[in-house]
Structure 1
Amino acid sequence: MKNLLQNEKNNFDEILFQGRNKDYGAYVIRAEYSQTITKAMFAGIALFAAVAVTPLLINAFKAPVEVPAERGTEHILKRIEIPQDPPEKEPEIVKPVVPLKPAENTVKIEIPTPVRNAVKETPAPKQSVIKDSKIGHENIVGTTPATTYTPPAEVGPVEVIAPPATVPIEKPKPVDNTPKTTVDVSADFIGGINAFRNKVVSNFDTSAMDGIGELVKTTVMFIVERDGTISDIKASGPNPTFNREAERTIRSVKGKWTPAKLDGENVRSYFKFPISMQFE
C-alpha cells in the first residue's frame, strides 16, 4: 500500500514537473522528502537519548566524597523528667466558731401525781427561785443574765445644707423681624445707587407710556432683606400704568444689596426710590 502511494506521488511529481528543470528546486525537495523525514526522526531520537543518558553517566563516574565527622557534634539524648505539679488540695472548710453560751439558772418543776401509797414526793420550787430562772427538765445553777441599758447618744444640732443655687438660664432674645425705618447704616446697592438707577432706566419699557406727553413721577418703596434681596415692591404715584411699569422694572434688576445695620447686626429695612420721567 505504501509503495502504491509512493508510486502515485512520483507519477504526480513527474506530471507536475514535466518539461521543467528537475535537478534542483521543488522537485528535488519533494523527491527526497521521505528520506529527509526519516533521517530527522532518527537524529531527534538519538539526541533525546543522549540528553537523557548523560546525567546517569556523570553520576556513575562521580566518586563519592567522604566527609569526616566533626568532633563534638554528637548528640547525647538525656532523659528529661518533667516535674509534675502537686495535686491540688481541696480547700479546707473552716467551721465558724460558736461561742459557748453561758449557763442560765434552770429549775425543774415536778408536779406530783396523786397516787396511793406515794413513796417520794418532791415539793414544788418556791416562787422566789422561779422568778429569775428558766423552766427546764433539770436543775442547773448558772449566772443570772445581767440586763444593761445603754442610753442613746446625744445628737447635736443638725446642720441643714442648703441646696445649690439655681443658675438662671438666659432665654434667647426674640428675633425682631419687623422692617426698620431708622437704622445706623442704610442699605445700599452693591455697586452704588447710581448703578441701580442706570439699570432701572435701561430696563424701563417706555412704550407703555405712549401718548402721555408729560412728566410722570412715582416713589417705589421696597424692603431690603438681611440676605441682600428685595421684597414687597410697591409704587405710589398718580399714574397706575407708570406705577406698574416701575414695579416691574425694579423687580427685574439683577444684583444684590448690602443690608442695613442696627446695633451692629443686619436688619430688614425700608428703602424709598423716587422715579420721574418726561414723555413727549
Structure 2
Amino acid sequence: MDINKILNADILDIIFEGRNKEYGAYELRKTYKKRLTTAILSMVGVCLLVFVGVLLANVVKSDKPVQMLVQDVQLADVKQEEKKPEPPPPPPPPKVEPPKIEITKFTPPKIVKDEEVKEDEKPPEQEKLEETTIGTINQEGEKSDVVAPPVEQSTGVVEAPKVQAEDYDKEFKTVQIEAKFPGGAAAWQKYLQRNLNSEAPVENGAPPGNYTVIVSFLVDKNGNISEVQALNDPGYGTATEAIRVIKKGPAWTPAVQNGRNVIYRQKQSVTFQVAEG
C-alpha cells in the first residue's frame, strides 16, 4: 500500500493488505459493528414488546370487578376426655403385734428378816427361772429360749472421780506459789549486792567483760536452803563466789502447792562486770 493511502486507510485494510479478502474473514470483520448494532436493537425491541404486553395484560385484568368470597366457618366441638377418678390407695396392712413373751421380774438378792420380805419382792424359784425370760417386770406370755440379763439397780449416788494423791515430799519444779526471799525480789537484790565480792574476777585476772553464773538450789518446806550448785562456770572464781553468798543467806519463804508447803528448786543468775582499767 502506498504511503499516501496509509493515513486514510482503515485498520482492517492495513491488516489484510496482500491477503485473500474473499476468503470470508475480511467480510466478517468488516461487517462486525453492523451485525452487533442490529443484534442490540433487536434485543431492545423484543424487551419492549414483552414489557408492553405485560402492561396491557395488567390493565385488562384491572378492569374486571374484584369479588371477595366470605364463608362462615364453624368450629367443631372438641370434647375433652374426662379424667377418670384415681382408685383409692390400698389399705395399710394390718398391724401384727409380736407375741408376748413370758417374763419373770428379777429381784436382786438382799439379806433381810423374813417378816420384812414383801410378797411381790420374793425371788422366783430356780426351776421357774430356767423356763422363762428374766426382766424388770412380770409378764404372762409364751415361753422363750432367750434369757434377758439381770438389770442392775442404781442407788442414785454418783461417786466423784478418784484423784491421785499428790506426793508432797518430792521436789517440785513448778508450783502455784514460788519460794521467795524475805522481803521480796528487791530485798534479794540488795542482799546480793551487799554480800557479793564484785572484785573476785578482777583478783583472779579476768579481762574486761560480763561473767554470768546460774546457780540452782533447793528451798525445803521450812525455807532452808540446800544443794547449792552452779549450772555453769565462766571462771575466774565467779561460780565459787556466787555459791558462797547464796549458801550463807537467810531462810526463804517456802513454795506452796495446793495449800501445802513443798520442796522447790529455785534458780538465780548472778552477773559480774569487769570494767576496762
TM-score (norm 2): 0.36
